[in-house]
Structure 1
Amino acid sequence: MSDESDAGYLEYVHGRMPALRRIAFLLSGDSDQADDLVQETITKLYAKWPRISRVEHVDNYVHTMLVRAFLDEKRRGWWRVSLRGAPPEPPPRPGGTTEERTVLRAALRRVPARQQAVLVLRFLCDQSVADVARILDCSEGTVKSQTSHGLTALRRILGDRVGGAL
């Protein structure tokens, strides 16, 4: 790659890193796995940067790459291996108690990967149905049905803990 192209890539990655890491963490629920997902995504992005940099909506393309990396990791199954007793707790965010966030994160991990991705993108990343459909390369109807099935699964997993909040 040329120096100019490298500079554009570095500028883009440095500017988008916090957002990419946030989405990856929301998808995976684990800061180490989130870092791995982001690293895999930006590595693939570097290889394709000369073409991708000319795309009108680079963020959309990169979000798609990140979600697909997450779905691929779920299929591979290595994420089940843990070298520590419990995951590190991320810094608390406003809204909800730590216990509520922990319970929701654990329940979300039990939902099938595609439904999990849809729920995270729709409700935690505030993406529209159309944007999620584009990211996951599926129809808007599929996003809606995956949302419905995912919410049903969360309700079943959480039981009475949410009291109708979902």
Structure 2
Amino acid sequence: MRASRTEEFKVFAAGRAGHLFRSASLLTSGDVHLAEDLVQETLSRMYVLWGRARRIDNPAAYAQTVLVRTFLTHRRRRSASERPLAELPEGAPVDPDDPALRMTLLRALAQLAPKDRAVVVLRYWEDRSIEETAAALQVSPAAVRTRCTRALGRLRELLGGSLTEFAAR
């Protein structure tokens, strides 16, 4: 019985890892190493819970929630001596069709507060409802709406009327 659960989890992890990594990359503003760590931590936590996963209505959505909470916990625990870089490392993943646009958007996301970034990723990348986002972040729907408004306003400020203005900075 234990082996079948392990096999089920392997299938789940293989099917969700790519999606979790893409979300983690957005949350971390393109830091692929941190994104990999977050996915590893998320899958580790999901494995521990996997025996009880039958009680979880939607394991994929639950894994996304675990990912976001892991990211927010990491941001709270970050050492005061660590400083974010002004430029992303050259090895950061980019969309081969339009790398300048992707880097511009990642830099703009990096300038948002971690919770605002989490709201933007969940609402607009994951296409979750306000209620689902609120549940994932353990806040009220009103807080999600407020954070969405603030985060989108900040992105508009950063990106201006033209994405090329922001990319030139």
Distance 2:37 2:60 in 1: 19
Distance 1:152 1:92 in 2: 25
> 4+ runs of 1 displaced by more than 4 Å?
none
Partner of 1:28: 28
Distance 1:3 1:148 in 2: 47
Q: Report the TM-score when normalising by structure 1.
A: 0.84
Distance 1:126 1:27 in 2: 15
How many residue pairs are counted as aligned between the two chains? Answer: 160
Partner of 1:144: 145
- Cα deviation per residue 1:42-80 (whole Å; 9 max; x = unaligned)? 111111211124322111211110000111111122574
Paired-residue identity, %:
32
Q: 3-state DSSP class of the match of 1:70? A: helix
Distance 2:149 2:68 in 1: 19
Distance of aligned partners of 1:137 and 1:85 in 2 relative to their CA distance in 1, 3 Å threshold: closer
Distance of aligned partners of 1:134 and 1:20 in 2 relative to their CA distance in 1, 3 Å threshold: same
Q: Report the TM-score when normalising by structure 2.
A: 0.83
Partner of 1:46: 47
Partner of 1:88: 91
- Give the counterpart letter for 1:75 in structure 2: R
User: What pairs up with 1:1-150 in 2 under 5 angstroms?
Assistant: 2-29=2-29, 30-77=31-78, 80=83, 86-92=89-95, 94=97, 97-150=98-151
Unaligned runs of 5+ in 1: none
Do the aligned partners of 2:123 and 2:129 also contact (CA within 8 Å) in 1?
Answer: yes
Distance of aligned partners of 1:80 and 1:73 in 2 relative to their CA distance in 1, 3 Å threshold: farther
